[in-house]
Structure 1
Amino acid sequence: MRTVTFGMNISIDGYCDHTLFHPDPTLHDYFTDMMRDVDLLFFGRVMYELMFPYWADVARDQSGTPDENRFAATLTAIDRIVVSRSLTLKDDKAQIVRNNPAEALRQLKQLPGKKISVDTVSMLPELASAGLIDEFYLVVHPVIIGRGRRLFADGSLKDNLDLKLVSTRAFSSGCVAHHYHKR
């Protein structure tokens, strides 16, 4: 059975607005290294539209910094599933799931392969409550935002998620990466 991971940048107060973070080269390399163990990305529509075509353009044009170019090349080489009822794709590496994302992920988890990386905040409560997320990689940035989208909205989980801390890594930028397994 494949391992399903979830990784996200968050503020100290639990918000996950990527426009308010400023990753440094070592943080890009951290996420690039994580993606080397992944052979399938599982996106919601919003996150997919944030990540692609931006990173695809960076990979194609090599228009980022060296660490951004490495991340872009690694990310865009991975097959992806996008959950959307309305999106039409022109992406050779992507397939669309129109309904029941938890069941689709459950079936994908049973197939042979490397890790599956879930990258969607909107479906996170549903997928986590269904017991489908095995590992969490949360990178806490040294900023308090006080507004925006939280990783988990109030009342979005039926039960607590009981996690075990596996490792932490501090970056010179002040970010701290926490790696958890579900118990």
Structure 2
Amino acid sequence: MRTLRYSINVTLDGCVHHEAGVAPDAELMQFWTADTERADVLLFGRVTYQMMEEAWRRPTDGVWPDWMSAWEVPFAESIDAKPKLVVSSTLGSVDWNAELLRGDLIESVRRLKEGPGGDLSVGGVRLPLALANAGLIDEYVFVLHPVVAGHGPTLLAGLDELVRLEQVDRQPFASGAVAHTFRPA
């Protein structure tokens, strides 16, 4: 069975908003590149898909934008090339190596996990909550940043039931951030 992994940056007060002061440095970007490379398929909701596409899709001229540092290019190339499944009831179509995942979300993800292939990776806020509530997430990777945001969406807010986790890995970074990997206990 394929592993479904949820990976996200989080502040000390639980904020998971991408603008909460948790921008990765070169070392963290290497971590996120490896995390992306580990997955066969990326699973996004509409909001995360559109946000990632805007930031990381290779421009039509093939040249990465000037704002992108050299240490961000490997991540950009990795995420740009990965197949993506997008959960959305409002989008009529997607591209960027993507297709829409239609039908019953929980049953569709169960079938994906039972199918052939390597790991699945989910990102975002609302979609992982639905999958966690259904007990479908096999691994949680939280990169905890030494920042207090004070606002924004929080990690798995609205979870139906307590999910007991056991830590299986811990990786500190020079920035003070620490990647914690957990599996359901």
Sort the TM-score into its range (normalised by shorter chain).
over 0.9
Amino acid at match of 1:121: V
Amino acid at match of 1:38: A
Q: Which whole-Å CA distance do the structure 2 matches of 1:58 and 1:174 have between them?
A: 33
Moved more, 40-49 or 83-92: 83-92
> Unmatched 5+ residue regions in structure 1?
none
User: SS at 1:82's partner residue?
Assistant: strand
User: SS at 1:36's partner residue?
Assistant: helix
Q: Which residue in 2 is equivalent to 1:9? A: 9
- Say yes or no: does 1:130 pair with 2:130: no
1:62-77 equivalences in 2 (<5 Å): 62-63=64-65, 64-77=68-81
Root-mean-square deviation (CA, aligned residues, Å) is 1.6
| Structure 1 length-normalised TM | 0.92
Q: CA deviation at 1:53?
A: 3.0
Q: CA deviation at 1:97?
A: 2.0
Match of 2:107 among 97, 103, 119: 103
Amino acid at match of 2:162: N
1:25-104 equivalences in 2 (<5 Å): 25-57=26-58, 60-63=62-65, 64-91=68-95, 93-104=97-108
Moved more, 1-10 or 49-58: 49-58
Q: Any idea what the Cα deviations from partners look like across 1:152-177, whole Å, max 9, x if unmatched?
A: 22xx2222111110111111111111
| Structure 2 length-normalised TM | 0.92
Q: CA deviation at 1:58?
A: 6.5
User: SS at 2:84's partner residue?
Assistant: strand
- Say yes or no: does 1:113 pair with 2:117: yes
Preserved contact between residue 44 and residue 127 of structure 2 (Cα < 8 Å): no
Q: CA deviation at 1:68?
A: 0.9
Q: CA deviation at 1:31?
A: 0.8
Percent identity between matched residues is 36
Q: Which whole-Å CA distance do the structure 2 matches of 1:18 and 1:28 have between them?
A: 14
Q: Which residue in 1 is equivalent to 2:162? A: 160
User: SS at 1:46's partner residue?
Assistant: helix
Q: CA deviation at 1:134?
A: 0.3
Q: CA deviation at 1:92?
A: 5.0
Preserved contact between residue 83 and residue 99 of structure 1 (Cα < 8 Å): no
Preserved contact between residue 80 and residue 96 of structure 2 (Cα < 8 Å): no
Q: CA deviation at 1:76?
A: 1.4
- Say yes or no: does 1:149 pair with 2:175: no
Q: Which whole-Å CA distance do the structure 2 matches of 1:57 and 1:73 have between them?
A: 8
User: SS at 2:85's partner residue?
Assistant: strand
> Unmatched 5+ residue regions in structure 2?
none
